[in-house]
Structure 1
Amino acid sequence: MITHRTASLFGSFLTGAAALALLSGCSDSVSSAQEPAQPVAPEQTDSDYPFQNPALSSEERARDLVSRMTLEEKAAQMYDKAAAIPRLGIHEYNWWNEALHGVARAGHATVFPQAIGLAATWDEDQMLEVATTISDEGRAKHHYYAAEDVYAMYGGLTFWSPNINIFRDPRWGRGMETYGEDPFLTGRMAVNFVNGLQGDDAEYLKTVATVKHFAVHSGPEPSRHRDNYVANDADLWETYLPAFKMAMDEADVASVMCAYNAVWGAPACGSERLMVDILRGDLGFDGYVVSDCGAIGDFYYDEAKIETGEAHYVAHDYVDTRAEAAALSVKMGTDLNCGDGYGNKMDALPAAVEQGLIDEETIDQAVIRLYTALFRLGMYDDPSMVPYADIPHSEVASDENIALSEDTARKSLVLLKNNGILPLAEGTKVAVIGPNADNYMTLIANYNGIPTQPVTALEGIKAKVGAENVSYALGSTIAGDFYTDFSPVPADVLFHRTDSGELEPGLEAAYYADPDLSGEPGVTQIDPNIDFYWERGPVENGLNDEFGATWEGVLVPEESGSYLMKASRWSKATVNGEEVGSDPIDLTAGEQYDLTMTMNFNSGWPRDGLEKFAELSWTRADRDLEAQAMAASDDADVILYFGGIDATLEGEEMGVELDGFLGGDRTHMDLPAVQEALLEKLEATGKPVVMVNFSGSAMSLNWAEENVDAIVQAFYPGEKAGVAIADLLWGEFSPSGRLPVTFYKSVDDLPGFKDYSMANRTYKYFTGEPLYPFGYGLSYTSFDYSDVSVPGSHDAGEPMTVSATVTNTGEMAGREVVQVYISHAERANPSVPHVELVAFDVVELAPGESKTVSFDLTPANLGFIAEDGEMVTPSGSSATISIGGGQPSFTETETAEVLFASN
Structure 2
Amino acid sequence: MDEFSFCDKSLSYEVRVKDLIDRMTLDEKAGQIGDTALGVPRIGLPKYEWWSEALHGVSDVGQAGNHVTHFDDVIPGATSFPTVILTSATFNQSLWKKIGQAVSTEARAMYNLGHAGLTFWSPNINVVRDPRWGRALETPGEDPFVAGRYAVNYVRGLQDVEGSTEDDEVADLDSRPLKVSACCKHYAAYDVDNWLGVDRYHFDAIVTEQDMMETFQRPFEMCVKEGDVSSVMCSYNKINGIPACADPRLLKDTIRGEWNLRGYIVSDCDSIDVMLDAQKWLNDEPYYCLDLDCGYYYPNYANTSVRMGKVKEAELDSALKNLYNVLMRLGFFDGSPKYEKLGKSDICSHENIELATEAARQGIVLLKNANQTLPLKSNKIKTIAVVGPHANATSAMIGNYAGVPCRFTSPIDGFSKYGKVKYETGCGEVFCKNESLIFPAVRAAKKADATVLVVGLDLTVEAESLDRTDLLLPGYQQQLIQQVSSQSKGPVILVIMSAGGVDISFAKDDPNIQSIIWAGYPGEEGGHAIADIVFGKANPGGRLPLTWFYTNYTDMLPLTSMRLRPIESLDYPGRTYKFYDGPTVYPFGFGLSYTNFTYKLVSSTKTVNVKLNKFQHCRDLNYTEGSYKPPCPAILIEDLKSSCGDYKVKLEIEVKNVGERDGSDVVMVYWSPPQGIAEAPIVDLVGFERVFVGGGGGSVKVGFELDVCKSLGLVDFRGYRLLPSGGGKFVIGDGVLSLPLQINFRR
TM-score bracket for this pair, using the shorter chain length = 0.7 to 0.9
Structure 2 equivalent of residue 854 of structure 1: 703
Q: Report if aligned partners of 2:134, 2:468 keep a CA contact under 8 Å in 1.
A: yes
User: 1:574 maps to which residue?
Assistant: none
What's the CA shift string for 1:658-714, capped at 9, x where partnerless? xxxxxx111101111310111111122154321000001111111111112111000
Amino acid at match of 2:15: E
Question: Closer, same or farther in 2 for the Cα pair 1:156/1:827, shift >3 Å?
Answer: farther
Give the partner amino acid of 1:348. Answer: Y
Indicate which of 239, 242, 257 corresponds to 2:218.
242
2:294 matched residue in structure 1: 338
SS in structure 2 of the partner of residue 634 of structure 1: helix
- Mean CA deviation greater in 155-164 or 48-57: 48-57
- Alignment partner, residue 264 of structure 1: 240
> Partner residue of 1:410?
361
Q: Does structure 1 conserve the Cα–Cα contact (< 8 Å) formed by 2:455 and 2:497?
A: yes
Are residues 1:887 and 2:737 paired? no
- Map 1:337-376 onto structure 2 (within 5 A): 337-339=293-295, 344-376=297-329
| Aligned partners of 2:32 and 2:320 also within 8 Å | yes
| 795-804 vs 728-737, greater mean Cα deviation | 795-804
Post-superposition offset of 1:790: 2.0
Match of 2:203 in 1: 227
Tell me, in whole angstroms, the C-alpha distance in 1 between the residues paired with 2:731 and 2:324: 48
Q: Deviations over 1:40-60 (max 9, x none)?
A: xxxxxxxx2111112222222
Mapped to 2, the partners of 1:76 and 1:84 lie a distance apart of 7
Give the share of equivalent positions with the same residue, in percent: 37
Quick one: structure 1 residues 241 and 730, their matched pair in 2 at CA, closer, same or farther if it must change by over 3 Å?
same
1:626 Cα deviation after fit: 1.5
2:669 aligned with 1:669: no
1:137 aligns with 2:106: yes
Residue number among 208, 219, 229 corresponding to 1:253 in the alignment: 229
Separation in structure 1 between the aligned mates of residue 272 and residue 451 of structure 2, nearest angstrom: 52
- CA deviations on 1:814-855 (whole Å, 9 max, x unpaired) are 01111111101325342x211010001111111111111100
Q: Does 2:709 correspond to 1:709?
A: no
Deviation at 1:481, TM superposition (A): 6.3
Residue 175 of structure 1 deviates from its aligned partner by 1.2
Counterparts of 2:307 and 2:734, CA distance in 1: 59
* Compared CA separation, residues 65 and 851, structure 1 to 2 (3 A): same
CA distance in 1, matches of 2:402, 2:719: 37
**Conserved in 2, the CA contact under 8 Å of 1:788 and 1:895?**
no
SS of residue in 2 equivalent to 1:795: strand
Q: Give the drift of 1:748.
A: 3.1
Q: How does 1:53-132 map to 2 (within 5 A)?
A: 53-105=8-60, 106-107=70-71, 108-132=77-101
Structure 2 letter corresponding to 1:248: V
Asked if structure 2 preserves the Cα contact closer than 8 Å seen for 1:72 and 1:347, the reply is no
Pair 1:864-2:714 in alignment: yes
Tell me the secondary structure at the aligned position of residue 745 of structure 2.
Answer: coil
> What SS does the corresponding residue of 1:439 show, helix, strand or coil?
coil
Amino acid of the structure 1 residue aligned with 2:329: R
SS in structure 2 at match of 1:806:
strand
Deviations 1:194-234 (Å, cap 9, x if unpaired)?
Answer: 00010135631101000000111111336101111121111
Q: CA deviation at 1:382?
A: 4.4
* Distance change >3 Å, CA 857–CA 268, structure 1 → 2: same
**C-alpha displacement at 1:280, in angstroms?**
2.4
- Supply the distance in 1 between the matched residues of 2:314 and 2:412 (Cα, whole angstroms): 60
SS of the aligned residue for 1:691 comes to: strand
Aligned equivalent of 1:782? 596
Structure 1, residues 144-183: CA drift from partner, whole Å, max 9, x if none?
Answer: 017xxxxxxxx21100000011011111111110100001
Q: For residues 370-769 of structure 1, what are the structure 2 equivalents within 5 Å?
A: 370-384=323-337, 387-419=338-370, 420-426=372-378, 427-428=380-381, 429-465=383-419, 469-480=420-431, 624-653=436-465, 664-685=466-487, 687=489, 688-707=491-510, 708-746=513-551, 747-748=553-554, 750-759=556-565, 760-769=574-583
Structure 2 CA distance for partners of 1:887 and 1:50, relative to 1, 3 Å: farther
Q: Cα–Cα, structure 1 residues 115 and 812, in superposed 2: closer, same or farther, change >3 Å?
A: same
Counterpart code for 2:291: D
Contact residue 220 and residue 754 of structure 1 kept, 8 A: no
Distance 1:481 1:117 in 2: 24
Query: For 1:91 and 1:237, how far apart are their aligned partners in 2?
Result: 40
- Matched AA of 1:90: L
CA contact (8 A) 2:432 2:475 kept: no
Distance 1:650 1:141 in 2: 31
> Once the two structures are superposed, what CA deviation does each residue of 1:254-275 show, in whole Å capped at 9, x if it has no partner?
0000000011111110012211
**CA distance, structure 2, for counterparts of residue 685 and residue 464 of structure 1:** 22
Return closer, same or farther for 1:767/1:809 CA change in 2, 3 Å cut-off.
Answer: same
Tell me the TM-score normalized by structure 2: 0.87
Q: CA offsets per residue over residues 464-484 of structure 1, 9 Å max, x none?
A: 22xxx22110001334468xx
> For residues 400 and 94 of structure 1, what CA distance do their matches in structure 2 show?
30
Structure 2: how far apart are the matches of 1:383 and 1:124? 28
Read off the aligned partner of 2:596 and give its amino acid letter: S
- CA separation in 2, counterparts of 1:698 and 1:72? 50
- Decide whether aligned partners of structure 1 residues 382 and 765 sit closer, same or farther in structure 2, where only a CA change above 3 A counts: closer
Give the drift of 1:874.
Answer: 2.1
Give the secondary-structure state (helix, strand or coil) at the position aligned to 1:455: coil
Secondary structure, in 3 states, of the residue corresponding to 1:902?
A: strand
1:304-342 Cα shifts (integer Å, max 9, x gaps) = xxxxxxxxxxx2111324xx02xx1x2x2x111111xxx
- What corresponds to 1:819 in structure 2? 668
Alignment of 1:831-846 (within 5 A): 832-846=680-694
Could you tell me how far 1:84 is from its partner in structure 2? 2.2
Instruction: Extract unaligned runs of 5+ from structure 1.
Output: 1-14, 17-47, 147-154, 302-314, 483-620, 654-663
Shift of 1:355: 1.8
Q: Which SS does the other structure have where 1:193 is aligned?
A: helix
The code of the aligned residue for 2:742 comes to: L
Q: Note the alpha carbon deviations across 1:610-652, whole angstroms, 9 max, x for none.
A: xxxxxxxxxxx9x931121122112112221000011232211
Counterpart position of 1:207: 180
1:774, CA displacement in angstroms? 0.6
Kept in 2: contact 1:415–1:777 (CA 8 A): yes
Q: TM-score, normalised by structure 1?
A: 0.72
The DSSP-based 3-state class of the residue aligned with 1:805 is strand
Q: 1:755 corresponds to which letter in structure 2?
A: S
Letter paired with 2:470: H
Q: Which deviations, in whole Å up to 9, do the C-alpha atoms of 1:478-529 show, x marking residues without a partner?
A: 34468xxxxxxxxxxxxxxxxxxxxxxxxxxxxxxxxxxxxxxxxxxxxxxx
Deviation at 1:383? Answer: 4.0
Contact 2:330 2:336 in 1 (8 A): no
Note if contact 2:86-2:521 (Cα within 8 Å) is conserved in structure 1.
yes
Q: Name which of structure 1's ranges 180-189 and 48-57 shifts more when overlaid on structure 2.
A: 48-57
Task: State the superposition RMSD in angstroms.
Answer: 1.6
Q: Is the 2:415–2:527 contact (alpha carbons within 8 Å) kept by the matching residues of 1?
A: yes
Secondary structure in 2 matching 1:855: strand
Q: Write the letter of the residue equivalent to 1:897.
A: P
CA contact (8 A) 2:673 2:712 kept: no
Tell me the distance in 1 between the aligned counterparts of 2:275 and 2:660.
61
Tell me the CA shift for residue 788 of structure 1. Answer: 4.2
Q: Distance in 1 between the 2:712 and 2:107 partners?
A: 39
For structure 2, which runs of at least 5 residues remain unmatched after alignment?
61-69, 72-76, 165-169, 171-175, 566-573, 611-643
**8 A Cα contact 1:475 1:626, kept in partner:** yes
What does residue 808 of structure 1 align with?
657
Once the 2 structures are TM-superposed, how far is the Cα of residue 389 of structure 1 from its aligned partner?
A: 2.8
The equivalent residue for 1:217 is 190
1:33 aligns with: none
